[in-house]
Structure formats: C-alpha cells, structure tokens
Structure 1
Amino acid sequence: MRRLILVRHAKSDWSAALEDHARPLNKRGRRSAPLIGGWLRERGYLPQEVICSDAARTRETFAGLGIDAPVSYTRLLYHAEAPEILEVLRGASGATVALIGHNPGIGAFAGRIVARPPAHPRFHDYPTAATLVAEFDIDRWRDADFGTARAVDFVVPRELE
C-alpha cells in the first residue's frame, strides 16, 4: 500500500508586489499551515518524503506544517496540471508521500486520482491548504494511476480553527 497526502499551499499574500513565484503566505496562510500539520500528526498521517513546488508560498506552507521529513523542491509542481503531477508522484520512493502544489492543478489531480471523491462540500473547489489523504493498493509509485486511489480523509483549515 502507498499513501498520498495532497496539500494545496496555504493562503498567499496578493498585496505583496512580487512576481507570482515569489509571493509569500499572508497572515491567514501562516495560521493555516500549522493547523494542517497538527491535524496530520494527530491522525498519524506523517510522510516519509515530501515533494514540494519550489514557489515561495509552497515552501512556506511546508515549513509551517512542522513536519520532520526529507523534502525536495521542484519547479515541476509549480502550476502543474494533473498529468504532470502524476508523473512527479510516480518518481516518489517513500511509502507515504506528501505533495504540495497549486490550484487549479492540485484540485484537478485530487479529483482524478480518487475512484470516488470524499463526501465533503469543499473537495471540488480545493481551497487553500485543503488536504487529501488517499491510499493506493500498489507496491510502487510508478504504478499509480488516475481513478485508483481511495480517499481516506479530507480537511480544510477552517474546520480546524
């Protein structure tokens, strides 16, 4: 079995006069990331490997989660579409992997990777810091495919405040 933790970056600061890739989190985003990290720890959803977009807001989201796991930053997840995200996942090695990326790709990927979506009213719009936990009945990530994961859990930060 393989477990995927799919996290959209926390709320970013649109008031910062920076190019998109360099945009940091705003105050709400800096509050949300630790809430998601606490939820992951509380439920025992701890990754052995993290693959994160190299954008400032995804890096800051990962730091805010407070998760002690090896992380690799890649430009491949920056505004990636679902097929590109799947290819990144297929290169993972840990039994439990967290991917941290951006919408619209991360939400589209979440919707396509699970056989049935979780019964949550916010799943289909995948708001900032939304987090899906999904499991695959596979031995290697390279065998992961759309429609083959089982949704185990889903949360948005507002539920944790």
Structure 2
Amino acid sequence: MKSLILVRHGKSSWKYDVSDSQRPLQQRGREDAKLVSNRYLELDKLPDKIFCSPAVRAFSTCKIFLETFNLSEKSIEIRDDLYDFGGESVINFIKNLPNGYDTVMIFGHNHAFTSIANIFGNKFIENLPTSGLIKLNFEISSWADLKKGSTAFIITPKDLKNND
C-alpha cells in the first residue's frame, strides 16, 4: 500500500511587491499550519519522505511541519516540478517516486492539489483550503501504477478552529 499526503501552503501575504514564488506567509498561515501539523501528528505516523515546492510560502509551511515533527530541513527535498498549479507535473512526479517510499508528504499548491484529491481520492472536495491536508491511500506496490484510491482523512484549519 502507498499513501500520499498533500499539504497546501498556508495563507500567503499579498502586501509585498514580490514575484509569486517569493510571497511569504501571513501570520494566520503560520498559525494554521501549526494547528494542522499538530493534528496530523495525533492521527498518523511521520511520512517516509517529504517533498516541497520551491515557493517561499510552501517551504515556510513545510518548515512549520518539520518543527512539529522534530525533523531538520535536511529531511526534505525541494523540487521545482512541484511548483505546479494544474496538477499534471505533480501527478508525473508522484508516478516517478521511488517505490521504497510507502508514505510521501508533498507541500504545494492549488488548484493542483484539489484536482489530484478529486481524481485519486474517493471523497469529492470543493477546495483544499490553505494549510489544508489530505491523505490518500492506494492499493498499489508501485507509484507508477497510481490509480483511484481512498481518501483516508482531511484536516483543515477551519475544522480545527470550530472544535474549540
């Protein structure tokens, strides 16, 4: 079995005159990522490997998860092909993952992640919100055989805040 965890970057700030890839997180984005990372750790084990888009907002979100997981930045791999908004590049990336990784976590972007969740999961989602996380399970032994799987769980900041 293979498991894929998709984490959309936290809420980014538009108040700086920077390129899209350089946009930082807002304070809310940092807080939401901390909430989601803590909840994930309550529900599941650490992934075998973590990959991240090079965008500042994705990497900053990833670093918050690493802190929660007590992992160093050396444990992640930044991949340019994850700076993708349509999903085709991310799907291609997933299908080419080494089969030694059974559980992979990827930090990236919408619309790619909502699209992938709906193509490969069995629970339709309207939108994966910022700092949202979705785990998909697949009855496959090779990532190259990626096909429809099951949606194990979804964690959103809004759901966590409504439980307080």
Matched-pair identity in %: 28
2: CA distance, partners of 1:63 / 1:140:
28
1: CA distance, partners of 2:45 / 2:109:
21
| Structure with more helix by fraction | 2
Cα contact 1:7–1:100 (8 A) shared by 2 = yes
Alignment of 1:78 onto 2:83: yes
2: CA distance, partners of 1:74 / 1:124:
27
Structure 1 counterpart of 2:5, one-letter code: I
2: CA distance, partners of 1:140 / 1:48:
15
TM-score (norm 2): 0.88
TM-score (norm 1): 0.89
- The structural deviation recorded for 1:80 is 3.7
- The structural deviation recorded for 1:8 is 0.7
1: CA distance, partners of 2:136 / 2:127:
17
How many equivalent pairs are there?
Answer: 154
Partner of 1:92: 97
User: Any gaps of 5 or more consecutive residues in structure 1?
Assistant: none
1:33-72 alpha-carbon deviations (Å, 9 max, x no partner): 1111111110124211111101000000000113337211
Cα contact 1:81–1:109 (8 A) shared by 2 = no
Cα contact 1:52–1:73 (8 A) shared by 2 = yes
Q: Secondary structure at the match of 1:160?
A: helix
2: CA distance, partners of 1:59 / 1:82:
18
User: Any gaps of 5 or more consecutive residues in structure 2?
Assistant: none
- The structural deviation recorded for 1:136 is 0.3
Which of 124, 127, 137 is the equivalent residue of 2:126?
124
Alignment of 1:111 onto 2:118: yes
